[in-house]
Amino acid sequence: MITLTTFRSVPPFAQGLVRDLRVRWALEEAGIPYRERLIGPEDQATAAYRALQPFGQVPAIETEELKLFESGAILLHIAERSEALTPSGANGRARTSAWVFAALNSVEPAIENLAELDLFHAGEAWVAVRRPMVADEVRKRLGALEGWLGGQDYLEGRFTAGDLMMTTVLRILRHSDILSEHPALKAYQERCEARPAFKKALADHLKPFAASAA
């Protein structure tokens, strides 16, 4: 049985965005059962947890055979074992991996830069100068992604782990209306989030936060 480590509580702005959601969604798509281990700030710096996750972050997974950290690595590990997330054949697996890396390396950094300005530095004088440049970079990345998607439902014609990762990256823009400038991408995100596995994963992701607040 896989044990997934994640937070028992996070601020409201982060709920629905913590990266354990990626892992939960992948496990639901693959039909793999798991159990959760909830941690708090008091656990993150302990030697025991750093032996599992060197940076004290989440998510991490454990089985009898494997300990693994980083959401991208965990997602690919799950995807390699499920045709629901990766097409059969070496080329299909390679293309799926490429889109996972594209989401993490080509799209997420720009989006994270914008989210950091908007969520943590709103109202500061220097942001008025910096934000237009950051927003333009986000639009550039979204435009390229929308151009590739074209009229397809998914990045490679069928749902893969690449779509899963890309959707969780696009969700970071939920505080902004910038995704609405790209209607094909907005429809793509909504299509992916309409999947039953996503809805189940999101509900389970949010459940500890509601319990913690009660």
Query: What are the structural domain ranges in the chain?
Result: 2-84+197-213, 90-195
Give the pairing type, strands 2-7 and 60-62: antiparallel
Look up the pTM and report it. Answer: 0.97
pLDDT tens-digit series, residues 84-127: 999 989 999 999 999 999 999 999 999 999 999 999 998 899 99
pLDDT tens-digit series, residues 56-70: 999 999 999 999 999
Give the domain 90-195 fold. Answer: Glutathione S-transferase Yfyf (Class Pi); Chain A, domain 2 (1.20.1050)
Residue 214 has pLDDT above 90, yes or no: no
pLDDT tens-digit series, residues 1-60: 999 999 999 999 999 999 999 999 999 999 999 999 999 999 999 999 999 999 999 999
Mean pLDDT, residues 184-207 taken together = 98
Residue 176: what pLDDT? Answer: 96
The answer regarding whether domain 2-84+197-213 maps to CATH 3.40.30.10 reads yes
Question: How many whole angstroms from its chain centre is CA 158?
Answer: 19
CB atoms within 10 A of CB 194: 9
- Encoding tokens for residue 140? 């550039």
